[in-house]
Chain A
Amino acid sequence: MERRTLFDGWFLPVVLVLPQLLLTGFFFLWPAAEAIWYSLTRQDPFGLGSTFVGLDNFADLFADPLYIDSIIRTVVFCAAVSLLSMSIALLLAVFADHEIRGRAIYRTLLIWPYAIAPAVSAVLWLFILNPQVGLLGRWLNAHGVPWDYHINGGQALLMVILASSWKQVSYNFIFFLAGLQSIPRAVTEAARMDGAKGWHRFRTITFPLLAPTSFFLLVVNLVYAAFDTFGTIYALTQGGPGKDTETLVIKVYRDGVINLDLGSSSAQSVVLMVGVIALTAIQFRFMGKRTNA
């Protein structure tokens, strides 16, 4: 359903929307179109010559079992990071919404890590988890736990999931807290009067009311896990050991920026672009429905 009350005229709105359209055109659509073109060519790094190869780059990509593994790994990784960071954030938010002493201080202390740069957080984790110089890594090894993510793929994956989730908890916490606060007190009070106990009350009343927030966060977290974890993973494991922590964005970076294989990396970007657009389209449909309902 569309808004009924509108202003007239078309000149003003066009002027208003123009700056954004121009920026989008020059700095997004144009380069994106070039990337799509690159994906259909084979060219040398310096752009001295290029040949049109049709869909060869895509065919090569999907014929490579290692790329398929990478897709599966990325899906697992994204799901794990999203679920872990969202459930921890929800837990913290629920407790921070309680009327307890020092509530405001707790909130501040849980919100501020949002500001930490990914590049910095990766260095932090090295000083904690490295088996030889890291505080926790050394402690584990000294106490009989053979912790070494350099030669243990499972531990490496666990580590990048933990580090990536850690970075995202604050963000989720803020949104969950906001969501909880927008639930009218009357609703929870009424439930309390009806004698609903803590967990039961949460499950039947609070959680359904948080569903829109959760869905929005799920999409944001999936995109975060797919793209913005690059800095963290690259600094910690560079995708290793073997390929055990190589996600799609690590591969794009390696093929595009290090390996300078522009055709293949553009094809990978196009695959990612399609994925993100699909994901956001789903989110958009959902948000659109909800607000128009």
Chain B
Amino acid sequence: MSNARTDWLAHAVLGIGVVLFALPVWLVLAGSTQDSGAITRGELSLLPHLDGLAVYSRVLMHGTMGTQPVWHMLMVSGGMALAIACGKIVISILSAYAVVFFRFPLRRTAFWLIFITLMLPVEVRIIPTYSVMSDFGLINSFTGLTVPLIASATATLLFRQVFVAIPDELVEAARMDGAGPLRFLRDILLPVSAANIAALFVILFVYGWNQYLWPLLVATDPGLDTIVIGIVKMIGVETQTDWSAVMATAVLALLPPVAVVVVMQRWFVAGLTEGEK
């Protein structure tokens, strides 16, 4: 009865939402195919110029203004995002597992030490962190790029929530079957929390992909430039900017994380649902 009206309203609201999100990105997509001079003059058109698409192969293969080729920077970003996502997931599962299913000396202390790192960004402790890294000789290395960003508690907390919610009966049953702690982890815990792992992977991949300040500081070798740094490098200060190349690179930089989000969205939403229970 009133369903048709509600549907109509839903379409309208969702449609407006979609447009609000897509418009700015569309603008960049359109801009990437247009003349840089026109963009500087504020004559950006909403329609892409199809003959301008060549800019994509240009930046992919050669970069612009002396940067690394975009494909290379995409690889570095991809490697970094993967390393951060996987590293965080592995160490978080292990520590959450230990904290939830065991009693050991200083368990609470260990948990609190991890817990206070929650959500405190790298930016506010950047100079001390840098000096620690250089004491370890990790400046200008892939390890230095990724490892400090693995140290945070968000993932540990999320897994703790998931593990705490696992019914005691399941653990009991596993013990009855004679499963040791490691087999329990592998055969029961991991499959049960697969959706959560997927959800976390998406969040952490995006987080790793979008880092700026830390990679800039710690990596000196241009071969370690990430795509976000590449974009900033292309934007000229006191000089002309090749806006179409910058915009094309921005679009390319968007594709991998968007692909991860879209491909994994089913597990993503499900994983968060279970974590919330």
Contact = CB atoms under 8 A, between A and B. Distances in A.
Contact of B262 (A10, A102, A111): A111
Interface stretch (A51-59, A60-68, A122-130): A122-130
Interface residues of B, number: 99
Interface string A90-122: 011001101011100011111111111111110
Contact of B150 (A23, A115, A169, A227): A23
A137 B40 CA distance: 15
Contacts of A125: 24
Contacts of B258: 112, 115
Interface in A7-21: 7, 9-10, 12-14, 16-17, 19-21
Interface string B120-134: 110111111101100
A127 B132 contact: no
Contact of B115 (A30, A134, A284): A284
B212 A35 contact: no
B273 interface: yes
Chain A contact surface mostly? helix
Contact of A181 (B124, B150, B209, B269): B269
Nearest to A253: B123
Nearest to A138: B42
B268 A174 contact: yes
A28 interface: yes
B73 interface: no
Interface residues of A, number: 98
Given A35-B124, A100-B10, A284-B115, A19 B95 contact: yes
- 6 smallest CB-CB distances across A and B, nearest first, come from A133-B42, A31-B128, A115-B257, A13-B102, A13-B98, A34-B128
Interface of A: 3-7, 9-10, 12-14, 16-17, 19-21, 23-32, 34-35, 38, 88, 91-92, 95-96, 98, 100-102, 106-121, 123-125, 127-128, 132-135, 138, 166, 169-170, 174-175, 177-179, 181-182, 198, 212-213, 216, 223, 227-228, 230-231, 249, 252-253, 256-257, 262, 269, 272-273, 276-277, 280, 284, 287, 291-292
